[in-house]
Amino acid sequence: MTATLADPLAARDHARAMAGTVVEAMPVIPPIVDDLPAGVASDDLLWEETVAAGGYTSRRLARGSRLRLVDVRGDACASMLIFNAEMPTERLNVADTVKIQWNAYLGTGKLLLSDMGRVLMSILEDGAETHDAFCGTSNAATNLAKYGEGRNSGAFPNGRDRLLLGAAKHGLQRRDVHPCVNLFKGTRIEADGTITPLVGPYDAGRSMILRAEMDVIAVIANCPHVLDPRDAWTVTPLRVSAWRGAIAPADDPVRIATPEGLRAYQNVEDYFRR
């Protein structure tokens, strides 16, 4: 290492020698997988990445794209922000997502709604059924208090700062990091209002598929849930895949499932009618 620091040419040669190195957590470029759903062509694959424990990722996805998340070892926590890619001032509104659907628990058929009454993404399949729309993610202060270290560059990175890094890739700033949903880690609200964390660990390989109902920017951090009761900073890798897909047709069962949901889809269709 000392030689590479002292000699730029040695540093260059060392860097080039790393070409082709494969590690568990990294993007696959070009994206290649062997487990696409039936009927999805390999040419339609847009994104394949495994996000490390404490890592983050982000991507712009076109309307109709499918996003598959896989809890590789049963202890991932996907804290996700969603933005309208064309106008990022429109973004996921967790409060409206809960209020408009008369349901605080995310799962198959549920919608992730924007602050302008439109559907940003919908949940088509859910093999986890353990998610959280209440707590948001950790920050430097909460991690410092719990783990003794909360810096973004430290041993126990926090979710908010990781989301900030992901958002920054798209020109967004700290003020744009809004309340998120947590996927694969859940909460239950007790009769007295107490929040009970449901963090597992769970069976490895749980997965879910979401559909982009608008052109979106998805930002994901993979850090321990803010209410994780375990003393140790604990999280495992998250796999992310995305592929092209058709937009929701008029008779789509998710689109027409409820009057409130249908109105949110109609708001999307009106937006694209411009």
- Residue 139 has a CB neighbour count (10 Å cut-off) of 17
**Residues 95-103: what's their mean pLDDT?**
96
Distances (CA, A) of 86 to 90, 91, 97: 9, 11, 21
**Residues 139-148: what's their mean pLDDT?**
96
Q: Which of 47, 84, 65 is nearest to 176 (CA)?
A: 84
| 129 domain-assigned | yes
What span, in angstroms and rounded, lies between the C-alpha atoms of 167 and 83? 9
| 2 domain-assigned | no
Per the structure, the count of domains in the chain is 1
Q: What is the b/e burial string over 96-120, where b = at least 16 CB atoms within 10 angstroms of the residue's CB?
A: bbbebbeeebbeebbbbbbbbbbbb
> Which tokens belong to 193?
């209002």
- Dump pLDDT digits (tens) for 163-186: 999 999 999 999 999 999 999 999
| 251 domain-assigned | no
Instruction: Kindly compute the dihedral angle of the four CA atoms of residues 198, 240, 112, 200, in this order, to the nearest 10 degrees.
Output: 0
| 117 domain-assigned | yes
| 30 domain-assigned | no
| 14 domain-assigned | no
- pLDDT at position 21 is 83
**Contact present, 111 and 122 (Cβ < 8 Å):** yes
| 79 domain-assigned | yes
DSSP 272: H
| 18 domain-assigned | no
**Residues 220-228: what's their mean pLDDT?**
98
Three-state secondary structure call for residue 14: helix
pTM of this prediction?
Answer: 0.94
- pLDDT at position 6 is 74
Confidence label for 25 from pLDDT (cuts 50, 70 and 90): confident
> Which tokens belong to 24?
């568990």
Least reliable range by pLDDT among 15-19, 85-89, 229-233: 15-19
> Which structural domain, as residue segments, surrounds residue 225?
46-246+258-272
- Dump pLDDT digits (tens) for 32-69: 999 999 999 999 999 999 999 999 999 999 999 999 99
What span, in angstroms and rounded, lies between the C-alpha atoms of 222 and 71? 10
- pLDDT at position 2 is 59
The mean pLDDT of the chain is 95
